[in-house]
A and B are shown apart, each in its own frame.
Chain A
């Protein structure tokens, strides 16, 4: 198979939008990706023909809804190479990390240590700080190298017998750096620690074989992976899910409730209290199937070709600096840069006038900004539907900002 970007673009109607007379060049996929017709159709079909609550109803619509919801679980599981009953639908990626911090956190003791990194999204820092306040665990941090990668050379010093969990970004939402998971798992295994990956920026770029990675927890967001808002995924090894107490209490997550005592349902229900995000989950299942149908060797080459175009183009503009790996090695299609003398927000605002959507600021990674003494960066994040015209518009806009704002 080859990669036909025009065919992919046709599946995303929003890319044909004209705003202020200009086409949309959407390069803010790391914040929220766009959604293909297949996903929109799946959610619409649920709402129009199968809308009901799941699990408990005996009527036909409830049965349809339950079947669609559980099929979505299977689709997500296939995307990750795991079993459906190991998939928990959450309200988002942040909610999934909070679930682990709360429920797995209940199994930790004061003095146990959790290892994070300097480039984590606040979502993979703050839930652990809350756990530290609640339960007395300690947090450690792996510093970042000058080219924006987690410095795994320090693992042997930072991983100790007290380390119970290592929780890291699979791909950095700022630098695009790809984690060498094998090294992390090896270090974790040497002390019996668990490994969690924040896959928010990795999942939108193709199926993942979690079993082969050898990790314990994986989380990602629906809306960054071409699915709807309001849904995320937690995968965990079944023995961990079995051992973990619930996060939220309510309907669906119980075995039997009396005022004296309540027993828990087995996973995944134990972690899906209340009515789940049914429509969004159905959409996300479809998004995973949509992604799985792409030829990811060709798609990855296409995405990384665009990254190269960004890196080459920026290099030709005076006073630009990349925060992240300088080459295509060890990176995914997220590129952060600074333009000397121009604040990232002013770069982003100027780009908007060229129809180019990017994100600027600290990207919910303030410790990383502090590490490099930066106010923020301008971030370009690429999806399969982006093409050369998007990158060329970006570079034209950056040149304009460089010429007019400094």
Chain B
């Protein structure tokens, strides 16, 4: 049931808009599009000593994409590329692409597991951040 998809935690994450906006002087920016649905995520990062010092995102996309970007921005600071990869694995576990239990905040996306057409909405911010850190 799709109603179950839009559970309170996902809606709250999206509405929190954590990290929404731009950085004044990012070390790097990256933009990723989902050509199938037109969603677009732009991520700015300020990197110090190989770790994320600041992060901001602009999402032109659905609620799931906004929620995912907000969740990611909320936990990304202080992490390097390898640690961000770990976060992605957590998100992939939440949506059932990998086995195991996801952790907070990404376990909020567990209801997306049954909606394969929406998996990319959750993963798009990770794609953009990976590119920004590359």
Residues of A within 8 A of B (CB): 20, 342-346, 349-350, 352-353, 360-362, 366, 369, 375-376, 404-405
Contacts and interface: CB of A to CB of B under 8 A. Distances in A.
Interface in B25-84: 36-40, 60-64, 66
B3 to A, nearest CB: 5
A350 B118 CA distance: 13
A343 B38 CA distance: 11
A353 B62 contact: no
Contacts of B60: 375
B92 to A, nearest CB: 20
A350 B2 contact: yes
Contacts of B9: none
A284 B91 CA distance: 45
Question: What interface size band does chain B fall in?
Answer: 20 to 34
A353 B2 contact: yes
B24 interface: no
Contacts of B115: 349
A345 B121 contact: yes
B3 A353 contact: yes
Given A349-B118, A405-B6, A361 B38 contact: yes
A360 B36 CA distance: 11
B61 to A, nearest CB: 7
Contacts of A342: 63
Interface of B: 1-3, 5-6, 11, 36-40, 60-64, 66, 115, 118, 121
13 contacts: A20-B1, A343-B62, A345-B39, A345-B62, A345-B121, A349-B5, A349-B6, A349-B62, A353-B2, A353-B5, A361-B36, A369-B38, A375-B61
Interface of B is mostly: mixed
A405 B61 contact: no
B3 A345 contact: no
A350 B6 contact: yes
A343 B63 contact: yes
Contact of B37 (A350, A352, A353, A361): A361
B66 to A, nearest CB: 8
Contacts of A369: 38
A361 B121 CA distance: 13
A181 B6 CA distance: 45
A376 B5 CA distance: 21
Nearest to A343: B62
A102 B62 CA distance: 38
B1 A346 contact: no
A376 B37 contact: yes
Contacts of A343: 61-63, 66
B6 to A, nearest CB: 6
B21 to A, nearest CB: 18
Nearest to A345: B62
Given A345-B39, A346-B62, A361-B37, 13 more contacts: A342-B63, A343-B61, A343-B62, A345-B61, A345-B62, A345-B121, A346-B63, A352-B2, A362-B37, A375-B38, A375-B61, A405-B11, A405-B63
Nearest to A373: B60
A4 B3 CA distance: 34
Contacts of B36: 361
A342 B38 CA distance: 15
A404 B6 contact: yes
Contacts of B5: 349, 353
B15 to A, nearest CB: 9
A362 B38 contact: yes
A160 to B, nearest CB: 33
B3 A350 contact: yes
Contacts of B61: 343, 345, 375
A369 B60 CA distance: 12
A367 to B, nearest CB: 12
